[in-house]
Amino acid sequence: MFCTVYVLLLLALPADWVAHPLTERLDPRSATWLLTATAATLAAASSAGLLLLALTGLLRTHTAAALGHWSLRVLRNGTPGTGLVSPLAGAALVTAAVATAGTLRCRVRAQRTAAREAARLPTRHGLSVAEDPSAEAFAVPGSTTSAGPGGRVVVSTGMLAALTPEEVSVLVAHERAHLHARHHWFVMTAQLAATANPLLRPLARHVSYTVERWADEEAALATGDRRRVARTIGKAALARQRTAVRTCAPHGVLRLTGPSATAGPVPRRVAALLAPPHRGVRAQPLVPALTTLLVATALLCCADAAHDVHRLLQLAHESTGY
């Protein structure tokens, strides 16, 4: 009856296998939405599985049976929470909840701190410029400014020195794409899902990659030159690597809050920009279909397990003597 509870805990295992081809065969925007929704759904499904296992362990106690006027014999015969399964499930659920809440709190606090720090930086042509010899450029979500909706684009003096004005405009287009599409919400959702279920960490890494690809494509669309975007991203990544040892601490908190143009596997991103752009999902319908099937399975298993618990309580209530 309760085999679906265990299915909920195992659904995250094939997530990475499905996610990798999805990042390659779908356009970045569709891939980001699909991966983020999948991560959130699977995290909720695994949490529901742990909750049901912990709940069924409580139902097997004399106290719960007496309070609910249920048959203890029916409850013990119909629940899978034997031995240490239920206590371990409860401990895992509490641990995941505490870790997720802590991650959310740290992210929100870092974002607010970064927004305040970015607001203090001097502006130049609509950009917040940090006096830092390390080559950095990133989006800081927060207060709306002329630099973009809902945040600021921060560029270090080291990055400005490493790039030409045309290349800086490409980099800024990339970062503003992050702000326009609010990519930090996708990344945060995936990271919270991975905190709740560590098996989803590969999925969170894929989301971090696809938001960068999404911003790359938006920058290419804005500038009309995919090769220039590819060249700029590669040059910025090399400049960041070359100056990384000289990173200054005061602006370190800014890097914790938003995606960066030099983040992710840069050679893979450059290769994607040099290739023809994606034309949509029709050419590869199998990948999103498998992902949709995975999410649908998680939802059906949750519904089935909840129905099993409800039906068990009905039977236990109708039975006499416990």
Residue 103: which residues within 8 A CB-CB, separation 6 or more? 191, 192, 195
What is the mean predicted confidence (pLDDT) over 186-205? 92
Cβ neighbourhood burial of 165 (10 Å; 0-12, 13-18, 19+)? exposed
pLDDT surpasses 60 at 241: yes
Give me 274's structure tokens: 């040099």
Query: Of 187, 111, 97, which is closest to residue 150 (Cα–Cα)?
Result: 111
pLDDT surpasses 70 at 279: no
Domains in the chain: how many in total? 1
pLDDT surpasses 90 at 13: no
Q: Which helix (H) or strand (E) holds 278?
A: none
pTM of the model: 0.80
Instruction: Read off the pLDDT band of 94 (50, 70, 90).
Output: very high
Query: Of 38, 33, 12, 41, which is closest to residue 299 (Cα–Cα)?
Result: 41
What is the mean predicted confidence (pLDDT) over 86-108? 90
Instruction: Read off the pLDDT band of 144 (50, 70, 90).
Output: very low
Q: What is the DSSP string of 2-45?
A: -HHHHHHHHTTTTHHHHHHHHHHHS-HHHHHHHHHHHHHHHHHH
Residue 283 sits in which domain range? 3-318
Number of C-alpha atoms within 13 angstroms, CB side, residue 161? 13
What was the pLDDT predicted at 46?
86
Per DSSP, 61 falls in state: S
CA angle, corner 180, sides to 175 and 186, nearest 5?
85
What was the pLDDT predicted at 41?
87
pLDDT surpasses 70 at 139: yes
pLDDT surpasses 80 at 3: no
Instruction: Read off the pLDDT band of 141 (50, 70, 90).
Output: confident
| HEC-encoded secondary structure of 70-92 | CCHHHHHHHCCCCCCHHHHHHHH
Euclidean distance between CA atoms 38 and 297, whole angstroms: 11
What was the pLDDT predicted at 286?
59
Instruction: Read off the pLDDT band of 250 (50, 70, 90).
Output: very low
Number of H helices, E strands in the chain: 13, 4
pLDDT surpasses 60 at 112: yes
